Amino acid sequence: MLTEPIIYRIDAKDRICGCNDAWISFAQDNEGEESLPEQVVGRLLWEVVTDPTLQELYQRMVAKARTGQPVQFRYRCDAPNERRIFHMTLRGEPGGVVEFRSELKSYEERPSVEWLKPHAATGKELVRLCSWCARVFVEGLGWVSIERAIERHGSLQGQASPKLTHGMCEACRDEMLQLLANPAAKDLNQLPA
C-alpha cells in the first residue's frame, strides 16, 4: 500500500526534470525498468506520453496549470492484484515548472490480472487501456473492464497476453475536457471512479 504521494515535475520546455523516491518505487513495481529515472529524467514528457489523445489532454492540463489554476482529477491505475483510485493534482510552479502529484485514495484487492504484470505480454497484439478508468478497448465490445476483456480474449485466441498501450476512452476524454473548460469545476465526484 502506497502512503507517500508520487511526484514528478516538468520544466518550462516540458522536459521531465525530477521525481521523488515514491515515483521510483512505483515505477519499479508497476512499469518495469523502462520507467526508471535514468530512462525518463531529461526526456520530453511527450516522448513518454505518446498516445495522441492523451498528449492533447495533457498539453491542455499543463497549459492551465501554468496559468496558476491547479488541475485535479481522479484516475484508476491498477496493480495486477489491486483496483486503485488515485487523485492527481497538476500545479504550476515558478519558471514554468509543473508538478504532477498523485495520491492513492482507495484500493480493493482482487485476483491477480495477468495482463497487468510487467513483461506479461506474450503476443504481438496491442490493446488500448484507458489511463483514467482502466477499461480496455475490445473490438466488438467497446470499452470494458480488463477482467471482461481477458475472458473474451481467452475464448478467442488462447492464452497469449497482448501488450497494453495507454490511451483514453471517449467518456473520460469528454469528462476531462468539460472539467478543463470550467474554471470553477472542483467537484471530483463528477469524475469516473
Residues engaged in binding Zn ion (CB under 5 A)? 130, 132-133, 169, 172
Min dist. Cβ of residue 20 to Zn ion (A): 27
Nearer to Zn ion, 42 or 142 (CB): 142
Which residue, 105, 126, 106, 104, is CA-closest to 115?
A: 126
Min dist. Cβ of residue 132 to Zn ion (A): 4
Answer for the pair 114, 80: CB distance below 8 angstroms, yes or no.
yes
Min dist. Cβ of residue 166 to Zn ion (A): 11
Note the Cα 41 to chain centre separation in Å: 18
CA atoms within 13 Å, Cβ hemisphere of 21? 2
Nearer to Zn ion, 150 or 169 (CB): 169
Min dist. Cβ of residue 91 to Zn ion (A): 23
Answer for the pair 168, 54: CB distance below 8 angstroms, yes or no.
yes
Cell of 2: 502506497
Nearer to Zn ion, 22 or 172 (CB): 172
Nearer to Zn ion, 20 or 53 (CB): 53
